[in-house]
Amino acid sequence: MLENNSVGIVAPQNAHFDTPLTLKSGAVLPTFDLAYETYGTLNHDKSNAVLICHALSGTHHVAGKYSENDKYPGWWDNLVGPNKPLDTNKFFVIGVNNLGGCHGSTGSASINPATGKPWGSAFPIVTVEDWVNSQARLLDFLGLPSLAAVIGGSLGGMQALQWTLAFPNRVRHALVIASAPNLTAQNMAFNEVARQAIITDPEFHGGDYYAHNAIPRRGLRIARMLGHITYLSDDAMGAKFGRKLKNDIQYSFDAEFEMESYLRYQGDKFAGEFDANTYLRMTRALDYYDPALPFNNDLTAALKQAKAHFLVVSFTSDWRFSPARSREIVKALLDNELTVSYAEVTAAHGHDAFLMPDAHYHNILRTYLSNIEIGGNDAK
C-alpha cells in the first residue's frame, strides 16, 4: 500500500562514468558507477533540481517504494513527495548513493576492473570532497547546470556545506541539518571503536573478506549497536525503553531489558545488510571532513567561497551533532555576510530527529523550500 502523497513506485537508475576521478587522497578511480533515483519532473530551464545527500548508512532510495508490497518506503519518504515539505510537484529531486557505498554505487564489493575481483581493501578511502565531486559528475550526466538546493542531515549536511564551497556557482540553496563543521573528538572516538570492532573481527580478513566468503558480522553488529546509542538521546532512550525488563531478572547475559533486545535486533539486521568496508569508509569520511583545517582552523575563512543561501537546522537533544556545532557554521556564514536562516528545534529524539516527521521541523523545511524561486514550468 502506498500512502497519500507518495512519489509512488520508483526504480533505481545507474550512471556510469568512464572519465577517471582523482580522489583527495591522490588515488584514482579509473571508472565508477553511481546509483541514483529521481522524483518529480525537471522543468524546462532546469532550475528546480534538488540533490539529497545521505548520511552514514543512507542510500539513493529516498522516497517511494520499489513495489506495492515493499514494507518500507525510502529513508526520507516523510519529507519528499507531492505536497510534502520537499514538494515533488515543484522540485526535481535526486537521491544518490555515495561512492564507496554498498547499494549500487561503486565500492569495495564492486569488481575492480584491474583485477576482475572485488576491490576489497584496495578500494580507496573517499572523502566528503570526493563525494561532492562525484555528485557534480552526476549533475553533468543528467544535464543539470546547477541545483536549486542541496539538502542533507548529519554527514549529508557536511556534503551540502561542501557543495557550496566546491561549486559555489552550481548551488543556490544549502540546507544543512543536524550537522557540524567537523566531528568532535568524542564523535571520532565512537567511530574508532566501531571501526576497531569491525577490523579486529576474525572474519574481516584485512578487508578482503569477499574472497574468503566471509562477513565480519560480529564487528558490524557491535558498530551498529553503538551507533544506535549515539543516534538517540539519553532522554529518548529513557522514554522509549527506560529500565523496562522483559521478564523478572534472570541473572544472565541474555537480553533481559527491552533496550537490549532492541540493540541486538538493530545490530543483527544491519550486519546482514550492510557492507563492512563501506561502514569503515563512511566513518573515515566523517572523521576527515574539516574545511577549516587548511585555514588554520578559521571556519570563517574556510567558508569564504560560499555564495549559496543557507538554512541550518539543529535539534536540542542531539548530543552527537549539538546545536552549538550548527551555530559555529551559522556564525562563520554570517561573518561572510551570507544569507542564513537558523532553526534550533526542540526535539526529544536526539540525532535521529532529523529523520523524524516532527511538525515544527517539517514546517520550517516546507516554508524555506516553498520560498525558493524556480523558473520555467514551475507550477507556482
Binding residue for its own copies, selected from 15, 188, 214, 356, defined by CB under 8 A: 188
Q: Where does 97-229 show beta strands of DSSP type E?
A: 111-112, 117-118, 147-153, 171-177
Does residue 318 have an active-site annotation? yes
Q: Which of 108, 275, 351, 358 is catalytic?
A: 351
Shortest Å distance, C-beta 19 to its own copies? 22
CB closer to its own copies, 184 vs 341: 184
234 forms part of the interface with its own copies (CB under 8 A): yes
114 forms part of the interface with its own copies (CB under 8 A): no
Shortest Å distance, C-beta 42 to its own copies? 36
Short-list 2, 75, 87, CA closest to 41:
87
299 forms part of the interface with its own copies (CB under 8 A): no
192 forms part of the interface with its own copies (CB under 8 A): yes
CB closer to its own copies, 15 vs 229: 229
Kind plus residue range of the DSSP H or E element containing 364 = helix 359-370
Q: Which of 105, 108, 110, 154 is catalytic?
A: 154
The contact mask relative to its own copies for 23-42 (x = CB under 8 A, - = no) is -xx-x---------------
How far is the C-alpha of 130 from the C-alpha of 23, rounded, in Å? 6
End-to-end CA distance of the chain: 30
How far is the C-alpha of 13 from the C-alpha of 65, rounded, in Å? 14
Short-list 100, 305, 270, 289, CA closest to 194:
270
How far is the C-alpha of 360 from the C-alpha of 85, rounded, in Å? 11
364 forms part of the interface with its own copies (CB under 8 A): no
Fill in the DSSP letter of residue 104: S
CB closer to its own copies, 144 vs 180: 180
Does residue 70 have an active-site annotation? no
Please compute, for residue 82, the number of CA atoms within 13 A of its CA located in the half-sphere on the CB side. 11
Q: Which of 87, 130, 275, 318 is catalytic?
A: 318
Kind plus residue range of the DSSP H or E element containing 282 = helix 276-288
Count of CB atoms within 10 A of residue 273's CB?
A: 12
Q: Which stretch binds its own copies (CB under 8 A): 137-145, 168-176, 180-188, 364-372?
A: 180-188
Q: For binding to its own copies (CB under 8 A), which residues are involved?
A: 24-25, 27, 124-125, 182-186, 188-190, 192-193, 195-197, 199-202, 218, 221-222, 225-226, 228-229, 232, 234, 237-238, 240-243, 249, 251-253, 255, 257, 259-260, 263-264, 267, 280, 284, 287-288, 290, 319
